Structure formats: C-alpha cells, structure tokens
Amino acid sequence: MRPLIASIDLSAIRHNHAVAKRCAPGRQAFAVVKANAYGHGVREVVTALFDEADGFAVASLEEAAEVRALHGAARILLLEGCFEAAEYQFAAQLGLDLVVHSELQAQQLLAASLSRPLNIWLKLDSGMHRLGLSEAAVREWHGRLLGAGQVAELNLLSHFACADERGSEMTEQQLEAFLDLLDLDFAQRSLANSAAILTIPAAHMDWLRPGIMLYGATPFADLGVAELGLKPAMSLTAQLIACREVAVGEGVGYGGSWRAERPSRIGTVSCGYADGYPRHAPSGTPVLVRGQRVALVGRVSMDMLTVDLTDLPNAAVGDAVELWGAQLPVDEVAQAAGTLGYELLSKVTQRVPRRYHQG
Ligand SMILES: Cc1ncc(COP(=O)(O)O)c(C=O)c1O
C-alpha cells in the first residue's frame, strides 16, 4: 500500500470545539463542516461532535442532506442559502436554517409553498461585498418576512472580511453596521468566524460559526495554534521511499530547478500534488523526517516530492515523514507556499486514506 495517510484526531476536534465554546460562554455554535469538514471527513466530524455541537454549517443542500442523515436534531445552517427556487421545499423537509442573502432569494422564499416554516438568517453585507443585503434592504425585508408563513425564526447574520487582522478598522465598521440593525426584532444573531471568536468578544452575539479553529489551524498570520490553545486535527504522513547522493551542481526533480551546492543526500517522499500538497511550495518549505525539520528541494511532482537529508545522515528509506500535522503546523507549510491552512486542509484529495483516532 502506498505509504501516505491523513490521520485525523477526533479528540482534537472536540477539544477545539470546546475552546470555541469557552471563548463565548452561554452562546451556541454552528460547527462549520462545509467542504467535507475542511477535508477532514464530514461524517466522522459530525459524529465526533454529535453530543456537543448545537448545530452545523454547510455550503450546499447536498452537504446539508448528508449532515441531516447523520444528525436528526441539530440545527443545520445553509451558509449561502438556496441556489434555485426548487430547493426551498427540500430545505424545509430537511428542517434547515437558511441564509437569505439577496432580494431574489427573499422573493423566492416568499413564493415557496413549504411543508413547514424555516429559520431564516437575513444576511447583511456589512462591508465584505461578497454576499448580503444592504442595511436598507435588511430593514425592508425584515418587515416583509417577519410573520410570513414561510418563516419560523427571523435572524440576522453577517461575515467579517478582515477579522484575522487584529485591530482592523474594517472589522470595527462591520461590527458597527451589524449593531446598527439591532433595533429590529431578530430572534438570533450570528457574526463570529474563528478569528472573531478568538479575539473579538463584542462580535460573539448568539451563534458562533467556528470553522478553521475546529481543525486546529490558525486564521492569523501572527498567532500560531499552540498560542491559541488549539490542537491540530490532521497529520499528513508519508514515508521516505528512496534516498540518493547527489554531487555538487546536479539538479533534482523536474526542470532540475534546484541544484546541489554541496554534496547532498536527497530523499524522495510518497506525497505529491495529486494528494493535495501544494505544487508551488518552494525549495525550503519545511518537511519533518524522523521528527526533524528538513527542506523541500526541487519541484513537487504529482505523486512525490524531494527533500534535502544532508544534515540528517541517519535518515533511511521507510522513515516516517510528516508533511504537516501535530509536529509541523499546516500554517507554516501554507505560509511557505504562499497560501493558507484552509486551502491545504480542504484540498487533501480523495486518494489519500483518512484514518481516524481519538487522541
Ligand atoms: C459565512 C461563513 N461563516 C463562517 C465561516 C467559518 O470561517 P472560519 O473557518 O474562518 O472560522 C465561513 C468560512 O468560510 C463562512 O463563509
């Protein structure tokens, strides 16, 4: 069997969920499990959080149906709402909480005949300008939806653009825009993603929406998981499958883009970009061999990558390699590759077997 697995510590996810809840005592939380729980496996994550989660948040009706099949009672929030008119009735059958982010969605909701009313979350565009109604439109639709037959709870939601930049003026403005609407009668309010849960208590409102923090990665460039008290959930582990000596001046990998400046020992690792490792990770990106940091060298191939073992003379074929995980934060690898932990975790491909354990 190809030696590459994503081992996933479900107790770490439970721990991180408890951290989110402890940040905002008395509030409830939609655990964000869209995109296959950021690559961790929605079935296993929902099951792991079965007893403690108040709800789950997803990006599509298909994802919502999967979560509903696993959890009959939890609230399930559809973050982008319905994509077409025909979906409202199915959303009602599944008993979802539905975002309404546009006038079109609001009209479609009012035109739908539903088997039961839905909890509706009017989404305010507080400044991110991706989804959401203007303040005036929220006021207008609040009046039209409150008491409508299709609506059970009428709630307010918005999303931060820069909550990961501490002290951001944009975040202040977004928070103010949200607070400005609270003269209206909303049953529940939700604003905080992981970054806001961890650092902006004024944004906690009634329902948190923790995503990345559940998986033990940081939303911040300057605050690591250990400082935040979070535990990495996924370790992507491979093996050294070949080792060789390379003379000064020799190139390694496609294009020979990395050249040995000293007599070098090169290790080949059983993980490549078809597994989700970033192809653009540059030479120097950290990789852990036998628990020691070494540098990625040369271009990442589809199924393999190469590392410089010159300073690790005892390393040998069969040694364990951690691409990221418990000992090497995914955020560090992401930073080296010019991306985010979010992208690396959610892009681990299907061919990588997930192995689950409890601590
Ligand atoms: C609307 C919304 N809420 C919450 C989240 C969770 O954000 P994070 O993973 O930064 O906690 C996301 C993630 O993209 C989102 O789109």
**Tens digits of per-residue pLDDT, 192-236?**
999 999 999 999 999 999 999 999 999 999 999 999 999 999 999
| CA Rg value for the chain | 23
Provide the pLDDT for residue 359.
80
**Tens digits of per-residue pLDDT, 37-50?**
999 999 999 999 99
Mean pLDDT of 15-27: 98
> What total of structural domains would you count in the chain?
2
H-type helices in 146-283, by residue range?
A: 169-180, 194-199, 225-228
Q: What angle do CA 243, 244, 250 make, to 5 degrees?
A: 135
Q: Among candidates 97, 105, 66, which has minimal Cα distance to 79?
A: 97
Residue 229 lies in a domain: no
254 carries an active-site annotation:
yes
Of the three residues 190, 219, 248, the one that is the final residue of a domain is 219
Whether 169 and 80 map to the same domain: the answer is yes
Place of tokens 């199915």: 90
Whether 156 and 35 map to the same domain: the answer is yes
HSE, CB side, 13 Å, CA atoms: give it for residue 167: 1
Provide the pLDDT for residue 337.
98
For 262, the domain range is 234-357
Whether 280 and 189 map to the same domain: the answer is no
108: pLDDT confidence band, cut at 50, 70 and 90? very high
64: pLDDT confidence band, cut at 50, 70 and 90? very high
83, pLDDT greater than 90: yes
145, pLDDT greater than 90: yes
Q: Give dist(CA 217, CA 236) in Å, integer.
A: 14
Provide the pLDDT for residue 41.
98
Residue 195 CA, ligand 1 centroid: distance in Å: 9
Whether 45 and 155 map to the same domain: the answer is yes
How far is residue 328 CA from its own chain's centroid?
Answer: 18
Q: Which of 171, 193, 223, 343 to mutate to test the pocket of ligand 1 (most atoms within 8 A of CB)?
A: 193
**Tens digits of per-residue pLDDT, 265-275?**
999 999 999 99
Does ligand 1 have an atom closer than 6 angstroms to the CB of 212? yes
123 carries an active-site annotation:
no
Whether 214 and 314 map to the same domain: the answer is no
CB of 270 within 8 A of CB of 241? yes
Of the three residues 169, 188, 219, the one that is the final residue of a domain is 219
User: SS3 breakdown of the chain: % helix, strand, coil, rounded to 5?
Assistant: 30, 25, 45
Whether 254 and 204 map to the same domain: the answer is no
What is the atom index within ligand 1 of the atom nearest the CA of 214? 11
Mean pLDDT of 63-75: 97
Does ligand 1 have an atom closer than 6 angstroms to the CB of 34? no
Does ligand 1 have an atom closer than 6 angstroms to the CB of 79? yes
Does ligand 1 have an atom closer than 6 angstroms to the CB of 211? yes
Residue 36 lies in a domain: yes
Q: What CATH number has the domain bearing residue 338? A: 2.40.37.10
Residue 225 lies in a domain: no
Looking at the chain, the whole-number percentage of residues with pLDDT higher than 90 is 99
Q: Give dist(CA 336, CA 46) in Å, integer.
A: 31
**Helix or strand run (H / E) with residue 223:** none
Active-site annotation holder among 88, 123, 215, 254? 254
238: pLDDT confidence band, cut at 50, 70 and 90? very high
Whether 175 and 47 map to the same domain: the answer is yes
Does ligand 1 have an atom closer than 6 angstroms to the CB of 158? no
Long-range contacts of 42-47 (CB under 8 A, 24+ apart): 42/66, 42/67, 42/70, 43/70, 44/8, 44/10, 44/354, 44/356, 45/10, 45/13, 45/214, 46/70, 46/71
Residue 192 lies in a domain: yes
Does ligand 1 have an atom closer than 6 angstroms to the CB of 341? no
Whether 285 and 348 map to the same domain: the answer is yes
What is the atom index within ligand 1 of the atom nearest the CA of 197? 11
Q: Give dist(CA 153, CA 147) in Å, integer.
A: 9
**Tens digits of per-residue pLDDT, 164-178?**
998 999 999 999 999
Residue 4 lies in a domain: no
Q: Which of 76, 77, 209, 223 to mutate to test the pocket of ligand 1 (most atoms within 8 A of CB)?
A: 209
Residue 79 CA, ligand 1 centroid: distance in Å: 9
**Tens digits of per-residue pLDDT, 279-330?**
999 999 999 999 999 999 999 999 999 999 999 999 999 999 999 999 999 9
Mean pLDDT of the chain: 98
146: pLDDT confidence band, cut at 50, 70 and 90? very high
Whether 203 and 240 map to the same domain: the answer is no
Residue 32 CA, ligand 1 centroid: distance in Å: 7
Whether 173 and 252 map to the same domain: the answer is no
Does ligand 1 have an atom closer than 6 angstroms to the CB of 32? yes
